[in-house]
Structure 1
Amino acid sequence: MGFSSPENGGHALDLSTKDTCGLPVFGVAVRYPAGHIVPLHKHAYGHLIYANHGLLRVEAESGQWLVPPTAAVWLRSGVAHRLVAPVALQACGLFVREDVCPRLPERDCVVHVSGLLRELIMALAQADHTTIPSKRIHLLGELLVEELHTQPALPLHLPWPTGDAGNPVQHVCQALLDNPGDSATAVEWADRLAMGDKTFHRRFLQSTGMTFGKWRQQLRLMSSLTLLMQGIPITQVALASGYDSHSAYSTAFSKQFGRPPSVFAANL
């Protein structure tokens, strides 16, 4: 990830050995406790972030991503980002040289992690870079790039409002992020911000690229993944996420992720 585990003081990892290894792809593996935050940072490499256990939140100017063990976040080189571990997790970060990046997604996104891609990520993240890289490590990196290129993007992105810190839409989004179950309507938010209903809807769409209702639903569903991974009963997850019932939540979850929350929870 570019940062050490909290047990080592939370300082930046020394990537100097890896930087000079000559590999097109190299990686690190890190453990984070629940609630740990890796501060804003960036890399001169394309960056693939994967949590093989737990759930990781990746925050950047362009948006936020929640990453379950079946997915990974791809970030272009130079993209500043922060990492938040809502639950204890093991994470792997792979770094891809810029000359290789053109073969990978042009936008920051979440991609599906196939069984093969997972094994490649784990092998590269745990590889010993203190010795001269072997032909096997080079080939694993090449295969990872090919496999990553074929993976579909997933709907786990939450666009963050554009503009400066004074944008009132950022205040609304941060409040909802802190409390996804907040039931305040768009009209109520407009009243709080002393603006008209139509103005609020227009500014929200301009700032995020999504309507208020769609954005809030996306937030609620993404946030609910954390609760599911903690083993909380689905009915409680539904209510905490702002849904009136188990069925309403399950319907929305299935439409968004292609499977009901019971199936998602059973495969954790």
Structure 2
Amino acid sequence: MSLSAPHACLHYTQFDHSDMPVTALAKDYMHGQTTDRHSHPHAQLIYAVRGVMLVGTDQGQWIVPPSRAIWMPAHIDHWLRMIGEVHMRTAYIHPDAAPDLLTACRVVGVTALLRELLLAAINIELPSAADTRDGHLMQLLVDEIKDVQPFSLQLPNPQDSRLMQITKTLSQNPEDDTTVELWAERLSITPKTIHRLFFKETGMTFGQWRQQARLLTALERLAQGEKVLSVALGLGYNNPSAFATMFKRQFGVPPSRFFDELN
């Protein structure tokens, strides 16, 4: 199952931009639907009440499971693919409303309060005055977004053409266990160069990047109801317990309980 950008896309209609500091939109998608590459003049907090989203930019890909959201700064080209039926709730933040918010894409936690604020925001009629109940609610939404905590659900994209050959293979075939030495031989460079470039361009070692690719693919497959054993074997693990140990080390719960914990 590939983490590469989608090709067959659902036409995306941008939300009608407003001069209001904060606006919100509800939109539902079927499994497998995708958006075209697009950007917005406003920053976004993109959250799925139901379902899982795969989000991609030129910098990387993110899996966004339930109880998580993705922060998307203004003017960043991005696309989304829906895993399962997705009920998306998005807040659009005017650049002048909170200039000190995150400046890079991040998967972030969604507190119970933030979730309820998002659900309330989509029902607010515009325009709303700042000194009204609705205006105060929207300001509280911005304040909650300022306090979101980031999570490590990113797979950063390298820009070096040689590394891109490696990451393309690992994204399309996460079970691939080709060693750094073999990759170095294929690419006519040294293993040391691969290690150095990986860390320089992604902030990860080769092994960490491959493990992250497997973890994000695992989340995508688990979200579609695939059994843990099948996921582990499909990712190249001969021993499912080794997969479960790696998964728990990263997310704090075993794969069999991940989506139960989030829900």
Q: TM-score, normalised by structure 1?
A: 0.86
> Where do 1:51-90 residues align within 5 Å?
51-90=48-87
> Where do 1:97-176 residues align within 5 Å?
97-124=94-121, 126-127=122-123, 129=125, 132-133=127-128, 135-163=132-160, 167-176=161-170
Give the CA deviation at 1:220: 0.8
CA distance in 1: counterparts of 2:256 and 2:15, whole angstroms: 42
Q: 2:227 aligns with which of 233, 241, 263?
A: 233
Cα 1:189/1:32, change in 2 over 3 Å: farther
Find out whether 1:181 has 2:178 as its counterpart. no
Structure 2 residue matching 1:12: 3-state secondary structure:
coil
Structure 1 residue matching 2:47: 3-state secondary structure:
strand
Structure 2 residue matching 1:38: 3-state secondary structure:
coil
Find out whether 1:197 has 2:191 as its counterpart. yes
Unaligned runs of 5+ in 1: 1-5
Deviations 1:127-180 (A, max 9, x none): 254x543633322221111112222111111111135xxx12122212211222
CA distance in 1: counterparts of 2:219 and 2:134, whole angstroms: 34
Corresponding residue for 1:3?
A: none
RMSD of aligned C-alpha atoms? 2.1
Give the CA deviation at 1:266: 2.9
Moved over 4 A (4+): none
Give the CA deviation at 1:191: 2.6
Contact 2:83 / 2:220 at 8 angstroms: preserved in 1? yes
Q: TM-score, normalised by structure 2?
A: 0.87
CA distance in 2: counterparts of 1:81 and 1:194, whole angstroms: 33
Contact 1:50 / 1:91 at 8 angstroms: preserved in 2? yes
Unaligned runs of 5+ in 2: 1-7
Q: Give the AA of the match of 1:10.
A: H
CA distance in 2: counterparts of 1:148 and 1:52, whole angstroms: 16
Cα 1:150/1:128, change in 2 over 3 Å: closer
Contact 1:48 / 1:72 at 8 angstroms: preserved in 2? yes
Find out whether 1:44 has 2:7 as its counterpart. no
Contact 1:117 / 1:144 at 8 angstroms: preserved in 2? yes
Structure 2 residue matching 1:256: 3-state secondary structure:
helix
CA distance in 1: counterparts of 2:148 and 2:252, whole angstroms: 16
Percent identical among aligned pairs is 36
Contact 2:83 / 2:223 at 8 angstroms: preserved in 1? no
Greater shift, 51-60 or 82-91, is seen at 82-91
Give the CA deviation at 1:11: 4.2
